[in-house]
Amino acid sequence: MRVIVADHPLIAHKLTYLRARETDSPTFRRLAEELMTLLAYEATREVRVEPFDIVTPVAPTTGIKLANPKPLVVPILRAGLGMLEGMVRMLPSAEVGFLGMARNEETLEAVTYANRLPDDLSGRQCYVIDPMLATGGTLAMSIKYLVERGADDITAVTLLCAPEGIEALKQEIGDLHVPVTLVTGAVDERLNEHGYIVPGLGDAGDRLYGVA
């Protein structure tokens, strides 16, 4: 798995306000979308494109557009929804599938509770979006799910990661024969005993939507 930490002052600046506990939900939602838009620049560097001809007011030329099959963006419910708009703004012709995963707060294991994805993902580039890579369980399960349905190139985009989660994810998906890239805004210090990223930003879903 390739890991790209998007090291940019605008990302660090927006992450700082996202982390601060006094940041309210509307501001948190705006920042999460803006961060996703900035991360999309890195995440889509290898998106598949095809040439097509246009005419400018001056001369004919060849441009590019997204190739078929179109990429699939998969927000992990519920917190991934907070990043969706920031991604589809950059990739308006992408399709969107949904995967509902929650972690059992005692075992910290991921459980699937909703799935709205095309059955056949053959040849699709998939962008899985979830703000927090903590234990890695949710992302590992989502990535395996997409690969089982034929996805052949997966990019996971997170706002923050714990080093333990990155290692666990590498172990879990190590034998999938599909290229996986992780793009993140920052790698934090560690996970605490409750599975929260430290210093992190708290519970991303609660901070986005204000309810548990």
**Binding residues for ligand URA, per CB under 6 A?**
79, 132, 134, 195-197, 200, 203-205
For the chain, what percentages of helix, strand and coil (3-state, to nearest 5) are there?
30, 30, 35
Q: How far is the CB of 108 from ligand URA (least distance, A)?
A: 9
- Cα distances from 177 to residues 33, 130, 148, 149, in angstroms, run 31, 22, 11, 13
Binding-site residues for uracil sit at 197, 202-204
- What is the four-CA torsion angle of 18, 23, 27, 28, rounded to 10 degrees? 40
User: Which residue's CB is nearer to ligand URA, number 20 or number 64?
Assistant: 20
User: Which residue's CB is nearer to ligand URA, number 46 or number 203?
Assistant: 203
Q: How far is the CB of 161 from ligand URA (least distance, A)?
A: 10
Q: Coil, strand or helix: which one is 73?
A: strand
Phi/psi for 187 (5° steps) reads -110, 115
Under 8 Å between Cβ of 132 and 200: yes
Cis before 124 (ω within 30): no
User: Which residue's CB is nearer to ligand URA, number 98 or number 196?
Assistant: 196
Q: How far is the CB of 3 from ligand URA (least distance, A)?
A: 18
User: Which residue's CB is nearer to ligand URA, number 78 or number 124?
Assistant: 78
Q: How far is the CB of 107 from ligand URA (least distance, A)?
A: 14
User: Which residue's CB is nearer to ligand URA, number 117 or number 132?
Assistant: 132
- Cα distances from 100 to residues 47, 76, 128, 165, 197, in angstroms, run 25, 6, 12, 19, 21
85: left (phi over 0), alpha (psi -120 to 50) or beta: alpha
Q: How far is the CB of 1 from ligand URA (least distance, A)?
A: 19
